[in-house]
Structure formats: C-alpha cells, structure tokens
Amino acid sequence: DALCDIVPAVKPQSAYYERLGWPGMSMLEKTIRYAHEKGMYVIADIKRGDIGSTAQAYADAWLGETRVGEASHPVFNADCVTLNGYMGSDTIEPFVEACKAGDKCLFLLVKTSNPSSGELQNRDMEGKPLYARMAEMVAKWGEGLDTPCGYNQIGAVVGATYPEEQKIIRELLPKSYFLVPGYGAQGATAKDIANAFNDDGLGAIVNSSRGIMCAWKKTGGNGEDYKEAARAEAIRMRDDIVNAIK
C-alpha cells in the first residue's frame, strides 16, 4: 500500500514463503493477487531450472495454467519469473512457450551479484566468459519475442555489484530488460548500476529488498512506522538512481 505509486514491481522470493510450508505458499498466492490489485507487476523470484515435464509443470504453475479435469486454471499467475538456464535450453523452452502464449516474461541468470559468481560465470568458454555465452543464449531464446515498446520478453539478471560486466552484457542484449540485484544492502550504489540502463534511461529494474523492508530499523522507532520508512527509502532510492543515469 505504501509503495504501489512509487515502484512499478514487487519481487517476492519464494524461498521465504516455502520455509513456512503450505500456509506460506498460500500467502504467496494472496500476495501476488493483492499486488495485481494495486496495479503492480509481479516478478516471482523462483530461480527454477529443471528439464522436461518438470520444467513444464513449473511453467504451468507460475506463468500458465494447470489443467484439472476438463478445465484449466491459473495458479500463481505471476507476470514474470527468474530462471537458472545453466542446465541448457530444455530447462527454458516451456517458459518461453508460456511467454508466447500470454503476456509473460522471464529473467535469466546471466551475471549474478553474489561474491562467488565468478567461480563459474567468469570462466573462459571458447574465448568469452561463460556469462557472455549465457547472454548470447538469452538473445537466442528471445528471438521473435520483441514487444511494441522495443524491448524483449526475455530479460537478464545482472548484478549491481559488477558494473563492468553490466556494460559487456548490455552490448550483447540491447533489447533485454535487466533485473539488477545487489543495490543497497549488498553494497552497490546507484553509480554501480548506471551501465545496466540504455541511453533512453530505460532497460533495467533495480531490486532492493532488505533496504526497503527493513528501513524502519534506521528510524529509531519501534517498527510501527515501517510503512512510512519503506516509502521514504523507496523515494530516496528512486531519486538516487535517476540522478545517476541522467
């Protein structure tokens, strides 16, 4: 309620609902539905990566519909999901088909914000780092999925903590939106994410989780001002980013 006119999207992390069992997953479904009622775009942070019928089941659950008897029903009905494509194309194809069938999108892990990401993602693969090869795969999976706004339905997760890699990936994926974690609590600043945006000032959505949800811890209050604190931090973050990409 405090953020819906400030930020365009929410990114619920499935793990924190799953740890509460089925009541948590029920709450996740309600959270997605409520966010839609507030006009927000919902990115389900599920980071799934599996093959065959299992990948299809995930795609049905999060983006498509599940068939029960003679009828099909949407389940979580997120607008977008995060995926791990490092197992190959057959982990992604059912989700690509879900994008073709409806107004849905994907964010593929390309260069993640965690400190150890370079152990694999920066390894040389035939003359290029592995993350660059993954960016090329993202471009391939997005063929034929350009939208009227000029951007593609297949996006990339590109960490705020790696600004130089952002620049390389942006050159490879000019039409992909970037989901940029790492701002705020993980240490990245607005200047660190400037390379994730295109020259039009678009092309990236920057994620801050703890920085906004836990902003009340810095106010000196008892937590009852959590809404006001979250809103103030979101406004500060927005203005900080806008000033960095002007």
The residues carrying an active-site annotation are: 47
Q: Are 75 and 57 contacting, i.e. CB atoms less than 8 angstroms apart?
A: no
- Element of type H or E holding 156: strand 154-158
Q: For the stretch 204-242, what's the b/e string if a residue is b when 16 or more beta carbons lie within 10 angstroms of its beta carbon? A: bbbbbbebbebbbeeeeeeeeebeebbbbbbeebeebbe
CB-based burial label for 191 (10 Å; 0-12, 13-18, 19+):
middle
Q: Are 86 and 51 contacting, i.e. CB atoms less than 8 angstroms apart?
A: no
In whole angstroms, how far apart are CA 161 and each of 35, 186, 191, 207?
A: 28, 8, 10, 12
CA distance 226 to 212: 9
Q: Which residue has the tokens 């775009």?
A: 41
Most distant CA pair in the chain, distance: 56
The DSSP bridge pattern shows strands 204-206 and 178-180 to be: parallel
CA distance 205 to 208: 10
CB-based burial label for 52 (10 Å; 0-12, 13-18, 19+):
exposed
